[in-house]
Structure 1
Amino acid sequence: MNSLSDLNSDAVLRFGPYVFHLQQRLILDGDRPLRMGGRALDILRVLVERAGNVVSKGELIARVWPTSVVEEINLRVHIAALRRALGDGRSGQRYIVNIPLRGYCFIAPVQRELDGALVSIETVQKHQHNLPVRLTPVTGRDSVVGSLVRQLPVRRFMTLVGPAGIGKTTVALRVAELLLQHYRDGVWVIDFAAIEEPAQVVDHLIHTLELDIGVDALAPRHALLVLDNCEHLLERCRTMVEALLVSAPRLSILATSREPLQALGETVQRLPALSVPPASSLHSVAEVMGYSAVQLFVSRVRARQQGFALREQDLKAVREICRRLDGLPLAIELAAAQIDALALVGLQAQLDNCFQLLTQGRRTAAPRHQTLKSALDWSYQRLSPLEQTVLQGLAVFKMAFTLDAAIGVISCEVLRPTRLVEVMERLARKSLLSVEQGNGMTRYRFLNTTRTYALEKLERSGLLRVFEMRYARYISRARWGSGGKVSLQIVEQLMDVG
């Protein structure tokens, strides 16, 4: 997919009898300016940027109303106003067509004035980027996207880190869209998900970018590279990135990974979960809709059930769904896809079986993003046998736990405390454990979805009962300690004080 988003704001576009001055936000029909509202102009610009391509209704809403929850009827009203202003169809010329179940498309030929000459849009578009069409708006990420957009051109190399399903690719692509205008030689996505061998990393980049003379061709370019899904190729990606930053001084790189690359000059941006409302906010629909996890859930339900509106009697169920799914965008989207079959109450009741529930994947997504289980399988299958065993064993902790508690339950003759500490640190780097600091103490915590996954693996291994007994014995010792007195310090370490 190509786009005109890299156009300077002073560009002049021509289609039919009209001249569109982007900087002045002015459309002329000959010498006569067309009267058109601001939102309609914004919609027109997006459609012209994608001339010849279908733009989904969700993307139009996200681009034109980036900070608001807007009904589709608002979009239809402005599209109708655009068509009237352009005389769409009256003289036999069509400009904007509706593609059923997909969106809208600007179908008239568009030209850009370049150094006094007219150049077709196809020429302007060529070799500017390879970003995919975004079919849905990005919800709840304005702050982190804005931070990345501001920092990336200056810092040059940033890595977006987070667990499976947190939305790293979505955020990275949104950042790339917004930076199209900044990079003269465009923005380019290189997805390493399908690459298994480290030796293929550089060849895959060269092939994706169609570099005739290899990576040396990047030396003079002012461009942004998005290296997506680097976690299983860390060492080779690290080496390549460090070399590129030296050889191509105008290149910027945004990587996504479930753990940092640990490369020279790397700035790590951890991607948080979407915000989930606290129980105290359940008195008002407006207040609950202020939380991004709920916004995403409601928007995805509305995509399946037009006219869906959140009611006060729904707030507890929606809040519980979002909380149990850890505010993970992928899990929330998959849950919303089940709304037709289960309704809200049924969906809430089935959360204990979340991996059986969240199986209606997105057919257009990569296989590892089609279901929640496949996303976690991707991480789990790349762990060493020892890391897999520790992850499973730690799943017996229902709440946050300290390192001492983990040692008390997991360590044994084969897995000494020092070795266990190393493994837990690696699991935290890989975003499979969260690390929390508070009251002068470090605690580890699972996401609910990750713990459920690890418990299933533990049960299938036949060791669930063994680790449950270890956990019970440790709790018993922690409670009574020596001399029959309760050891409050250890008990507090096992409790979820957050």
Structure 2
Amino acid sequence: MNSLNDPHSEAVLQFGPYVFHLKQRLILDGDRPLRLGGRAMDVLQVLVEQAGAVVSKEQLIARVWPRTVVEDINLRVHIAALRRALGDGQNGQNYIVNIPQRGYSFVAQVQQLPAIGAVAVDDLPSPRHNLPTRLTQVVGRDALVGGLVRQMPLRQVMTLTGPCGVGKTTVALRVAEQLLQHYRQGVWRMDVALVDDPAQLSDHLLQTLELPLDTPLESLTEQHALLLIDNCEHLLEPCRNLIERLLIAMPRLSILATSREPLQAPGETVLHVPALAVPPASALRSVAEVMGYSAVQLFVSRAGACQQGFALREQDLETVRDICRRLDGLPLAIELAAAQIDALALKGLQSRLENCFEILIQGRRTAVPRHQTLKAALDWSYQRLSPLEQAVLQRLAVFKMSFTQEAAIAVISGERVPADSLLTVLENLAFKSLLSVDQSAGLPRYRFLNTTRTYALEKLADADDLPALEMRYAGYLSQTRRASGAAMALQLAE
């Protein structure tokens, strides 16, 4: 049979009611595509290629994760997903069995079919789309992507929000790839960042859908399609108005949007994209344990692509954890840092992160300008703030830890920042993903990502306001200490 390492394999395999087209990475149950994540698909292909034989866990991991150290639990999760998708054990049919102490075996009979025939995938209409070719593997997002793939056909509008560099577009594109076979009229991506004039938004949409510019939206009633509207934050109201028109004209349309803040469109479901998981200090017991965290997985994967032979060692665990922590688990920042590994090595990279913008400057040439460097991504957000929002963001950077609304008023309010406007601005900055807010204790507390605070602190220093604000911040802490005693001081330190 064709090898997993041959992405152009033309083999068509059949087992039970399923037909597996290797080249298209497509499994059909009759004429219905089976939804599987990329890793699960890889695991299945290895097992099917060696049907009847026992494949050890080590062999599976080496084939499916050739450049990454993963734990057995990762493999077990994908095996369980495969069994559920195939209905393993139902109606007396078994596909994958666990051989204790040895590994796994695909026990169903596998037949190789001709690539051209009644069930050949070439007989199916090719999915129409304009998605870009993915050049790198998506790391640490399997659960998020899988959940979205299941939800999107049931939703009209889903908006992915989060700070710059968190990977909203990456997640959205991966979801769109997974749904190519679901939508009869295709999957289309419209990048709003390419549009400066709101009046051109409808024309840009029609160009995206490969339709004449004089096509009325009302004529597209029967379109069963997925529209990915990417980077909506600078044209929120025009995007919201366009979505309202689309939902009326095209009731079978699904819309997946990305934005640094919610669109507040009719029927919108908002999902905040989290940063990648950074291991706590207590998890530094072994390479395998640390590699269970997605931020480390991404760093190791990208560093390995830049430096031949790179591998995570026991003595590197604290350093890599610190790098990922100081970069807030943001995929863009981690990728840009990993690109410097060959020039600086781990310790050099760690020592240069005091000012992360000095080091995270070697961007991805294939990316749009705002994603080529971390500073460019933050510039994109900052330039779209009002002058008052910019002033507040700068001044809040004097807070090294989380802070309350009361503390913000005491430290940064003044002639340029009226106290009666500050609460609204704080809410706006949190809404735009430039601040995070924690309300678990009842009283909202705001905090910066490390990368965003560094950026705002530079802006504050450029405005020559840093020394005065630092003195006000120190005075506030001193006054609070006197008023509340050592207990409050300890709490602030924590």
- Do the two structures share a fold, i.e. TM-score over 0.5? yes
Distance 2:175 2:465 in 1: 44
Of 27, 33, 42 in structure 2, the residue corresponding to residue 64 of structure 1 is: 42
Distance 2:470 2:150 in 1: 48
The TM-score with structure 2 as length reference comes to 0.78
Of 306, 309, 326 in structure 2, the residue corresponding to residue 307 of structure 1 is: 309
Give the conservation status (yes or no) of the 8 Å contact 1:325–1:449.
Answer: yes
Aligned residue number for residue 273 of structure 2:
271
Aligned residue number for residue 349 of structure 1:
351
Distance 1:149 1:182 in 2: 10
Aligned residue runs from structure 1 range 215-254, under 5 A: 215-254=217-256
Q: In structure 2, the residue corresponding to 1:128 is in which secondary structure?
A: coil
Of 422, 425, 432 in structure 2, the residue corresponding to residue 423 of structure 1 is: 425
Distance 1:268 1:203 in 2: 26
Of 338, 341, 344 in structure 1, the residue corresponding to residue 340 of structure 2 is: 338
Q: In structure 2, the residue corresponding to 1:441 is in which secondary structure?
A: coil
The TM-score with structure 1 as length reference comes to 0.77
Structure 1 residue 111: Cα displacement: 7.5
| Farther-moved stretch of structure 1 (313-322 vs 402-411) | 402-411
Say whether 1:179 aligns with 2:179: yes
Deviations 1:29-57 (A, max 9, x none): xxxxxxxxxxxx775443999xxxxxxxx
| Farther-moved stretch of structure 1 (64-73 vs 211-220) | 64-73
Say whether 1:458 aligns with 2:460: yes
Distance 1:486 1:356 in 2: 40
Q: In structure 2, the residue corresponding to 1:486 is in which secondary structure?
A: helix
Give the conservation status (yes or no) of the 8 Å contact 1:396–1:468.
Answer: yes
Aligned residue runs from structure 1 range 282-431, under 5 A: 282-431=284-433
- CA RMSD, 1 decimal: 3.0
Structure 1 residue 493: Cα displacement: 6.8
Distance 1:434 1:441 in 2: 14
Structure 1 residue 203: Cα displacement: 1.3
Aligned residue runs from structure 1 range 19-98, under 5 A: 44-46=23-25, 64=42, 70-71=65-66
Distance 1:112 1:210 in 2: 30
Aligned residue number for residue 11 of structure 1:
none
Deviations 1:139-184 (A, max 9, x none): 1112211221122211221100000000000000011111112111
Structure 1 residue 472: Cα displacement: 1.4
Give the conservation status (yes or no) of the 8 Å contact 1:43–1:60.
Answer: no
Aligned residue number for residue 471 of structure 2:
469
Structure 1 residue 377: Cα displacement: 0.6
| Farther-moved stretch of structure 1 (207-216 vs 220-229) | 207-216
Aligned residue number for residue 143 of structure 1:
143
Structure 1 residue 112: Cα displacement: 6.1
Structure 1 residue 64: Cα displacement: 2.1
Are residues 113 and 241 of structure 1, via their aligned partners in 2, closer, same or farther at CA, if it must alter by over 3 Å? Answer: farther
Give the conservation status (yes or no) of the 8 Å contact 1:409–1:467.
Answer: yes
Aligned residue number for residue 129 of structure 1:
129
Amino acid in structure 1 at the alignment position of 2:150: R
Amino acid in structure 2 at the alignment position of 1:46: R
Distance 2:490 2:209 in 1: 54
Share of identical aligned residues, percent?
62
Distance 2:121 2:182 in 1: 21
Amino acid in structure 1 at the alignment position of 2:198: P
Are residues 128 and 334 of structure 1, via their aligned partners in 2, closer, same or farther at CA, if it must alter by over 3 Å? Answer: same
Say whether 1:436 aligns with 2:443: no
Structure 1 residue 327: Cα displacement: 0.1
Give the conservation status (yes or no) of the 8 Å contact 2:228–2:257.
Answer: yes
Structure 1 residue 415: Cα displacement: 2.8
Structure 1 residue 227: Cα displacement: 0.2
Q: In structure 2, the residue corresponding to 1:193 is in which secondary structure?
A: helix
Give the conservation status (yes or no) of the 8 Å contact 2:391–2:417.
Answer: no
Aligned residue number for residue 159 of structure 2:
159
Deviations 1:426-478 (A, max 9, x none): 11011000011233321101000000000001101111112111111211211
Aligned residue number for residue 31 of structure 2:
none
Deviations 1:286-335 (A, max 9, x none): 10000000000001111122332211100000000000000000000000
Give the conservation status (yes or no) of the 8 Å contact 1:159–1:260.
Answer: yes
Amino acid in structure 2 at the alignment position of 1:177: E
Give the conservation status (yes or no) of the 8 Å contact 1:402–1:493.
Answer: no
Distance 1:326 1:233 in 2: 27
Give the conservation status (yes or no) of the 8 Å contact 1:156–1:252.
Answer: yes
Aligned residue number for residue 482 of structure 2:
480
Mark the runs of 5 or more structure 1 residues left unpaired by the alignment.
1-13, 27-40, 50-58, 75-109
| Farther-moved stretch of structure 1 (145-154 vs 328-337) | 145-154
Distance 1:346 1:223 in 2: 48
Of 280, 283, 301 in structure 2, the residue corresponding to residue 281 of structure 1 is: 283
Distance 2:116 2:218 in 1: 32
Are residues 283 and 433 of structure 1, via their aligned partners in 2, closer, same or farther at CA, if it must alter by over 3 Å? Answer: same
Deviations 1:383-413 (A, max 9, x none): 1111111000000000111111111111124
Structure 1 residue 416: Cα displacement: 2.8
Distance 1:43 1:302 in 2: 27
Aligned residue number for residue 83 of structure 1:
none
